[in-house]
Amino acid sequence: MDNNAIIQIRELTKSFPMGKSKFTALSNINLSLEKGEFTGLIGPSGSGKTTLLNIVGSLDTPTSGEAWVLNQSIGSLSAKEAARLRKEKLGFIFQSYNLLAVHTVFENVEFPLLLLKIDAAERKKMVMDALEWVGLTDKVKSKPPQLSGGECQRVAIARAMVKRPSLVLADEPTANLDAANSHHILQTMVKLNEELKTTFLFATHDDKVIGYLRRKIYLLDGKVANDEWVKDYHTVK
């Protein structure tokens, strides 16, 4: 195993039972991501990108092969260990934001810190810092239903980033946003990637997102079709 790799995947296969047969979502995937990457899994619907993201996020396990994330083998983690990995090291950004609707913006961003049992004063500072990164300090008392889609996704980014995770997994983060909001969100993520050296892994088929990626891993029918680095990458677009 490459010790510099933040994610290392070897011969990973994932299949799901479908009646009497089985559906193979991922087949013999081999990948390696290093710290600080801004990488995307690109492919059409059904190509396996979300399945791969879920395995990397320890929300699912491989059927065969190995997935090492932050030096932990996902397949051999207990439920408790997987939860600890997500709680301490991973941040998630979802297509439909997945904010807690009855909580305020502050409480939503504070949630991961509550799970880490960080004391109240420190929590408040960290939440306000995170909201400042995404430009939402004036919305601390608002609740998600009172926010626009773009604002909701910025809250989700703040929630994912507030604990300074090693790896952020973003599943179609701009799918529900218009172009202006998408660019704003992506610029925010690029900025955080550069400033905090957080690794970002996207699952997307949105050209707007693809335009910001430094590395593009194309998936097709559960296999890696292409893996390319962007030459002449300009930081903030």
Partner 1 sequence: MKTALKLAYRNLVGAGLRTWLNVIVLSFSFVVIIWLKGIMMGWDYQAKSDMTDWQIGGGQYWHEQYDSFDPFTLSESHAVIPEQFNKEIALGDMVPMLMVQGTLYPQGRMQSVTIKGIDPHQNLFLLPTHRLDTVVDGIPAIIGLATAQDMQLEKGDLVTLRWRDANGTFDATDIVVVDIFSSNVPAAEASQVYIPLQTLWEMSDMEGEATLLTFRDEDEERAEVQGWVLKPKEVLTASVDKILKTKTAGQSVFYIILLLLAMLAIFDTQVLSIFRRQKEIGTYIALGYTRREVVGLFTVECAMHSILAVLVGALYGIPFLAWQAKAGWTIPMDAGDFGIAMAQTIYPVFSIGLIISTVLIVVVVTTVVSYWPSRKIAKMNPTEALRGRIQ
57 binds partner 1 (CB under 8 A): yes
Shortest distance, position 101 Cβ to partner 1, whole Å: 8
109 vs 50, 115, 133, 177, CA distance in Å? 24, 11, 12, 20
Residue 191 tokens read as 């900025």
Torsion region of 225: left, alpha or beta (phi above 0 gives left; psi -120 to 50 gives alpha): alpha
Under the binding rule (CB under 8 A), the answer on residue 112 touching partner 1 is: yes
DSSP 8-state symbol, 73: E
Q: Is 59 in the site for partner 1 (CB under 8 A)?
A: yes
For residue 166, the minimal CB distance to partner 1 (Å) is 14
CA atoms within 13 A on the CB side of 152: 22
Q: How far apart are CA 71 and CA 101, in angstroms?
A: 34
- Residue 4 Cβ, how far from partner 1 at the closest point, in Å? 26
**Is 173 a residue that touches partner 1 (CB under 8 A)?**
no
Beta-sheet pairing, 167-171 with 90-93: parallel
* Residue 102 touching partner 1 (CB under 8 A): yes
The mark string for 79-98 relative to partner 1 (x by CB under 8 A, - otherwise) is xx--xx-xxx---x-x-x-x
Q: Which of 34, 66, 107, 206 binds partner 1 (CB under 8 A)?
A: 107
Q: Does 172 bind partner 1 (CB under 8 A)?
A: no
Q: Is residue 22 near partner 1 by the rule CB under 8 A?
A: no
Q: Which residues of 162-190 are buried (b: 16+ CB within 10 A; e: fewer)?
A: bbebbbbbbbbbbbbbeeebbbbbbebbb
* Contact residues: partner 1, CB under 8 A: 54, 57, 59-60, 79-80, 83-84, 86-88, 92, 94, 96, 98-103, 107, 111-112, 114-115, 117, 143, 159
